[in-house]
Amino acid sequence: MGGRDVWLRLTEAREAKGLTMAELATVLDISRQAISSFEIGIKTPSHETLMVLTKILGFPERFFVSNNSSPEIVGAVHFRSRSTATKKARMSGRARGRWIALILKECSKYSQLPPVTLPDLDIADFNYSKNLISKRLPQKLEGTGCWVTAL
């Protein structure tokens, strides 16, 4: 148990729950620096601390020791109302978005969707609109099986 990749999952779980390092440290009755050391892989929490983490964060032990790391999301994560979304809400959304990307990556191993084909339309002003639309068509993220739309 240990290693940098494994304890990145601790960061994901903490962020998904919307907790700061300081808040998690307070609940565990340890220092914020200890949480930071766990998350960057300098130290490994004791088995007792891991059991408390599983209860507080609501994740099974196997989540923390899994070899599957969630893919990083490159680019902006969009929120319905960014001005009213708190930093914790955005942090939680990014963590959950990484999990969705991981789920999609795993699903793509077992299924394949057909390519998107759009019919040609012969409309006077459509050529200008067609260029705008083609820039906004979903693009596949390398190695994830995820599709994103550029804005």
The whole-number average pLDDT for the span 129-135 is 54
Range(s) within the chain of domains with CATH label 1.10.260.40: 4-65
Q: What is the mean pLDDT of the chain?
A: 75
The 3-class SS string of the chain reads: CCCHHHHHHHHHHHHHCCCCHHHHHHHHCCCHHHHHHHHCCCCCCCHHHHHHHHHHHCCCHHHHHCCCCCCCCCCCCCCCCCCCCCHHHHHHHHHHHHHHHHHHHHHHCCCCCCCCCCCCCCCCCHHHHHHHHHHHCCEECCCCCCEECCC
Q: Tell me what pLDDT residue 76 has.
A: 56
In this prediction, residue 33 carries a pLDDT of 95
pTM exceeds 0.75, yes or no: no
Digit-coded pLDDT (tens) for 53-91: 999 999 888 888 776 666 666 555 555 655 677 878 877
Domain 4-65: CATH superfamily is: lambda repressor-like DNA-binding domains (1.10.260.40)
At residue 116, the pLDDT reads: 83
